[in-house]
Structure 1
Amino acid sequence: MLLWTRVLALTGFCVAVVAPPASAQGASTWFLAEGANNANFAQDILIGNPSSKSVTVTLTLLPQSDAITPTLVKTFTMAPTSRLTVNLSKDFKLNGSSSARVSAVVSGTSTPADIVVERTMFFGGDLPLGSRGGLNSPGAHNASGVTAAAPRWTLAEGATGAFEAFVLVANPNPSATRVRATYLTGTGQVLVSEQEAMAQGRVTFWPRAEHPALASAEFSTEIESLTAGNSVVAERAMYFDGFRSGHDALGVTAASTTWHFAEGFTGGNAATAFETFLLLANTGVVDSRVTVDYLLDTGGVVSRTYNVPARQRFTVWVDDEGRTFDTRLAASAFGIRITASAPIVAERAMYWGTPSAADPTTPSFPWVEGHATAGITAPEARWAFAEGQQNTYGGSIDTFFLLANPQSVPVKVRATFVNNLGEGIVRDVCLPAHSRTTVWAANYPELVAEFWWFDAYYDYWEEGQVFAHVLRIGDDL
């Protein structure tokens, strides 16, 4: 577990003015492509109600064809400013794989109500049906839902060999959908698979089993609906160390010339070391010149430029950049800003474990755990998270919020934490210009409890905005 904190001395000053916050992650309907509950997996769906009104939530499973699903639809009532945990074993008796759709209305009406939805899956331990995972589960991963289906998705990360990779595709339509997966490798080879997803269901692509060339490879994946008028939702899950560890990430619906990440870390302490990778997918037909700015928590910026060939996947090992390009990236915490000459898709993956004997700043393999996420194309003034736990499962879970400010002015952040009883606290944080800051829930005694969701409002000076990512260090339960 990570039980240390990094202290940042803030310089400059923060000036806040009244400005309407932008909405990020608030919607009345959500989709989760990945999901499973059986002898190997246990799944929770986390729902946050940030409003001052009671809401009625409808959760609908979209199962794979071989799943046992005695209950497909269930409704729940949520109090104002509260958080709900739905366990797919206890509440649905699911045995198998299933995507999900979650929607909400103001209680007693048909008026859509904004909610926030995430999903956590536990795996790798003794998980009889009915278990919520926990201390008997060495691994877990988490991802947000998405607020709309789309005809095309891209997943920049994908690897086999040391990993098992799966691409999960939800079909929320009332008719079957033909789905194509196109794999773009780091060597320029392009491979294609197709499947049909049943109506209101989901399919799983297993790259290693589909193509001998993907038995040990790095690749990005494009998912495309081939059925006119039918949009889908795509995620990717990757596991390692015999399914004891793994991570999951959402696809993105379009390439972009700009990407942002709030989290990135190299180095560590005597017990735990980290490494960070950037995964870049060029889905276009021309090469892209990509500049990566690393926004250090000390306020400095390190810039590096790469050429990403057309129709290929490209990997940046940030730890190695700290050894060979700029030592400021060694043992460093940073946010990331990416600009590209032609649109690309970007993800960031991080792994941690016991420091290796050869290089104590790098974790030895197999890693203890890891996480991955796609970037965002622009900063937002407001973020919300449905999941959050501190010191649960015997003190084995820590929650960190990573806040990055890519602007040239300081930004004042207001964070509101609310529990499932509607109680909570409000705290302010100042982010210096071009920097990243870590908020550790353990520093707030009021948060040492289970089931907290987070809502951050950013007061900004000269229209400064920030971006945020939640990191739950506790996946290795």
Structure 2
Amino acid sequence: MHRLVVTIALIGMMIGITPSQAFAQVPVQSGRIVFSTQADWQRGTRTDVQIITNADGELRLERGATRGTFVSEPIALTTTLNAAGVVWHADVPPGTTLTLELRGGPAPDQPGPWQPLTAGELRARSTPDAFAIEGVRPLPSDTRVLQFRATFSTTVPNASPILSDVSISYFDTSAGPPRAINAVPAVGGPATLTVPPKLFPRTSWAGGNPRAYRGPREAPQGIVLHQIGADALDDSLPFLRALAVYHEQTLGLNDTVYHYIIGRDGAIFEGRSGGPTASVAELSGGAAVHIALIGEGAPPAAQFDALRALLAWLCDAYRLEPSGQRVITLNGSSVVGPTIAAHSDLAPSAGDPSNALRDALPQIRQSVSAAMVRSRWFFAEGNPRDYEERLAVLNPGSEPATVRFIIVRQPGVEVIRETTVAPGARANLVINQVFNDTSDAPAIVESNAPIIAERFMNFGADLSLQPGVAHPSRVWYFAEGSTEGDKRTFLVLFNPQSEPVGARVLLITNDGTTFVYPPFDSEPVVLLPRQRTVIVMGDLLPNASFGMRVTASQPIVAERTMIFGPGSTLTSGGMHISPGMTELSREWHFAEGTTAPPFRMSLLVLNPNGDRANVTVRFLTPDGTSLARRYAIPPLARLSIDVNDVVPELGVATTIIADRPVAAERALYWRNDAAGTAGPGVMAPAYSWRFADGRTGGDYQQYLLISNPSRSQARIDVAFILADGSRASRSLVMPAGSRYTMAVHELFPDQTIISATVRATQPVVVERSIYAGPPAATTNRGGETSPGVPGD
């Protein structure tokens, strides 16, 4: 008769490893049913199937039969079970088939539906010549009876498949955590713009302590999709525990082979220890991440969404192109296969995934590419209630970009608008046309392709036009800040995280006086998740000029807004907005600068170090001549240079060189200090610079300021995208160490929006200045200067 072995033990005891190594340190009931002898095969019903005496008992078709079945008697067990795995030896010649099935139920007269047992790629280490299902089959949780069926068929005369033995391992893994809790962000690879999906760690569904991975590692070159379980599986956790026991105990593997398992409800579970780089020698695919979806047909919406999020993050983290190809070694030969592949693409004999999932792969790859975030820009400041505000995006690449505008309105839910931007084209979103009922609206712009994003704000008396912040940071520096006279300074802090963040501000004055807010003996400022906080600097340090350092417990976005001029209001005075600097540098460059009337120019250099900083400031003129000045800045102090006293009535570019890292900004004020702009320089010249926005229509004037600090002349090519989408270009040659001003409004007047890309044969610095109102100082309504976005 068939042999029945029942074991009740901890997994660590059953497979001979220490409890700290065991996958699940919770009680697991398991047993094994073996059919291999003539007596075993007698315990069942045979139709056109005979028992032969080879190897003490095998099954095959009766002579002359083309189809036959063996059905075991119902096998009563002493315990309930919820899953089973099967290993068997068989010989299936060409032209013949052998179909194995299993079913279970609470009683012999309640057997449940037959479930197919498909041979996968995995093999038991102790019997590598045997077939095995790759994952366990789920059974009703009240199962106490098992039954096995084999169907033989042939289309070749006198040929028959042979079934030598069948070993059924069954498991009761109902003990353990009843539900998975405390999902955490997935970990692996370098930091990504694509948000890591949340998953349930092994301890949340397997119990016990985390287990360490000490095996080989490989950076993933691809991703392989599997399907396991059944569509009707409602409770994933017992199934996952049974899967782990089957892989480790029955097949003798050192761990489950799947890095991640995704439930039908979209829950993502951590599988194999060690993360995505943990090697899997037992499956085809080389260095790959193996993801198993629970189910047998097309993934439901929740599971599809979870798979897309996981794939998008993995592709971003390991620089994989979702629709790309890779070279894979299969059976000793190199073949080209898809980066995201079905298991059966790599192992043709594998029985998974389903045709429905295979057919969905083109859509999956496309949706993953669209979900990846390859570019993200943050804007802490935003006020569509009081000002004209728009976000402009430039796609400099050769592929379409899916762009998502996320307006984090407060109060209220986030507003999302999505558009596709053609290669080399531009898109705009006027926030006021979406909503205009709040003055508190930070924004995030993200895309599945590299883009440039800028924010234009028209305040009536002044304007602002700045690129966004590409990378939040835990530390921010500002060299400009003032509460003297009619100047008002606001620190705008946006927390893009999903958790609260603590922050403090250090204010540093010209004479070295410092002020910390909040004091270190108090709790830090709490920045709520996905919200911004505005700190009024006049409430902290009135009637003073200062620089600032912001430190936060997690990366945030920091901008400074200053209002100044008569009455310090937006209708009569001026305003400028600028992001801070996330790094200190020994070198700063400014392409824009002038001391010609009516402008007053200052350079602000912040030394937040504990030692003195020595700086050299070099001013570059249009004809290539230069003038240098040297300064010493005490520790924790700020230097303010009145450039009008150094180079009066002249347009200049500026380079600052320091013997230790500092932060530097340039401020320009005009119209009796009723208009102005201030912002940081750039740390290094570059071969290309891009500007997504600009304006020459109406009474706007726009300039491109180009500095060539190198020792060689530079050829400059400027490509424009005009308001109607047409293209234009201009070229020039700049001497070494010179500065050039391009009046864009004279070249292309009446453009409601204009984008520019500057390319040079030498590294240069490029800034854009835009002014509103006629050039006369008494009527000019203000303006803004900002550097472009460097690099390709």
TM-score, reference length from structure 1: 0.79
**Equivalent-residue separation in structure 1 for 2:535 and 2:719 (angstroms):** 39
Partner of 2:624: 299
Q: Are the aligned partners of 1:72 and 1:92 in contact in 2 as well (CA < 8 Å)?
A: no
Deviation at 1:421, TM superposition (A): 4.0
Could you tell me which of 481, 493, 511 is aligned with 1:158? 481
Paired with 2:374 and 2:640, the residues of 1 have a C-alpha distance of 33
- Corresponding position: 1:344 with 2:670: no
Instruction: Specify the alignment match of 2:765 in structure 1.
Output: 467
What is the DSSP-based 3-state SS (H/G/I as helix, E as strand, rest coil) of the residue aligned with 1:319? helix
Partners in 2 of 1:449 and 1:410 — Cα distance? Answer: 31
Deviations 1:425-444 (A, max 9, x none): 01112111111100111231
* Structure 1 residues 389-415: Cα deviation after superposition (integer angstroms, max 9, x where no partner): 11x2xx311110000000111101110
Q: Which has the higher Rg, Structure 1 or Structure 2? A: 2
The CA deviation at 1:62 is 3.4
Within 5 Å, give how 1:19-168 maps onto structure 2.
28-38=375-385, 40-63=386-409, 67-69=410-412, 71-105=414-448, 113-123=449-459, 137-161=460-484, 162-168=486-492
Inter-partner Cα distance in structure 2 for 1:222 and 1:93? 32
Q: Secondary structure at the match of 2:489?
A: strand
C-alpha distance 94-57 of structure 1, shift in aligned 2 (>3 A) = farther
Residues 152, 222 of structure 1: 8 Å contact kept = yes
C-alpha contact 2:503 2:551 (8 A) present in aligned 1: yes
Shift of 1:100: 1.4
Distance of 2:655 and 2:437 partners within structure 1: 41
Mapped to 2, the partners of 1:122 and 1:163 lie a distance apart of 19
The aligned counterpart of 2:759 is 457
Q: CA deviation at 1:94?
A: 5.0
Q: Does the 8 Å CA contact 1:70/1:92 hold for their aligned counterparts?
A: no
1:197 is displaced (CA, Å) by: 1.2
**May I ask how many residue pairs the two structures share in their alignment?**
391
Structure 2 counterpart of 1:130: none
Q: Is the contact made by 1:442 and 1:448 (CA closer than 8 Å) also made in structure 2?
A: yes
Q: Verify the 8 A CA contact 1:179 1:197 in the aligned structure 2.
A: yes
Larger mean Cα displacement after TM superposition, 238-247 or 418-427: 418-427
Contact 1:84 1:420 survives alignment (8 Å): no
Shift of 1:92: 3.9
Q: Distance in 2 between matches of 1:146 and 1:79?
A: 23
How many angstroms does 1:50 deviate by? 2.2
Asked whether the equivalents of residues 399 and 470 of structure 1 are also in contact (C-alpha less than 8 Å), the reply is: yes
C-alpha distance after superposition, 1:257-314 (max 9, x if no partner): 111100110123xxxx111100110011001011000011121100001111111111
The code of the aligned residue for 1:138 comes to A
- 1:318 corresponds to which of 623, 631, 643: 643
1:377 aligns with 2:707: no
Is residue 495–residue 528 contact of structure 2 (8 Å, CA) maintained in 1?
yes
* Matching of residues 187-226 of structure 1 within 5 Å: 187-193=511-517, 194-209=524-539, 211=540, 214-226=541-553
Does residue 331 (structure 1) correspond to residue 660 (structure 2)? The answer is no
SS of 2:498's partner is coil
Given that 1:83 and 1:419 are in contact with CA atoms closer than 8 Å, whether structure 2 keeps it comes out as no
CA distance in 2, matches of 1:27, 1:308: 40
**Which residue pairs with 1:3 in the alignment?**
none
Q: What SS does the aligned partner of 1:187 have?
A: coil
Deviating 4+ runs (over 6 angstroms): none
Cα distance in 1 for partners of 2:439, 2:461 equals 20
Higher normalized contact order (CA 8 Å, seq sep 6+, divided by chain length):
1
Secondary structure of the corresponding residue to residue 95 of structure 1: coil
Distance 1:27 1:260 in 2: 28
Cα distance change, pair 27–412 in 1 and its aligned pair in 2 (3 A): farther
- Distance of aligned partners of 1:92 and 1:28 in 2 relative to their CA distance in 1, 3 Å threshold: farther
Instruction: Tell me what 1:415 maps to.
Output: 718
Amino acid corresponding to residue 457 of structure 1 in structure 2: R
**Distance in 2 between residues matched to 1:195 and 1:43, nearest whole Å:** 28
Distance 2:405 2:605 in 1: 34
The Cα shift of 1:185 comes to: 1.2
Distance 2:427 2:722 in 1: 9
- 1:221 is aligned with what amino acid? M
CA distance in structure 2 between the aligned counterparts of 1:186 and 1:142, rounded to whole angstroms: 28
Structure in which a larger fraction of residues adopt helix = 2
**Alpha-carbon contact 1:152-1:224 (below 8 Å) kept:** yes
Closer/same/farther in 2, CA of residues 248 and 349 from structure 1, 3 Å limit:
same
Shift of 1:146: 1.6
SS at match of 1:37: coil
Structure 1 SS opposite 2:763:
coil
C-alpha contact (below 8 Å) 2:722/2:728 kept by paired residues: no
Alpha-carbon separation, structure 1, partners of 2:604 and 2:405: 33
In percent, how many aligned pairs have the same letter? 27
Letter in 1 for 2:611: V
Deviates more, 1:233-242 or 1:404-413: 233-242
Task: Tell me what 1:173 maps to.
Answer: 497
Find the aligned partners of 1:340 and 1:153 in 2 and give their Cα distance: 19
Task: Compute the displacement of 1:420 (Å).
Answer: 4.7
Q: Structure 1: where are the runs of 5+ without partners? A: 1-25, 106-112, 124-136, 322-328, 354-364
Root-mean-square deviation (Å): 1.8
Matches of 1:442 and 1:60, distance apart in 2:
32
Residue 101 (structure 1) shift: 1.2
Is contact 1:163–1:240 with CA below 8 Å preserved after alignment? Answer: yes
- Please list the CA deviations of residues 101-127 of structure 1 after superposition, one character each: whole Å capped at 9, or x if unmatched: 11112xxxxxxx11111112222xxxx
> In terms of mean alpha carbon deviation, does 433-442 or 47-56 score higher?
47-56
CA deviations on 1:124-152 (whole Å, 9 max, x unpaired) are: xxxxxxxxxxxxx1221221112111111
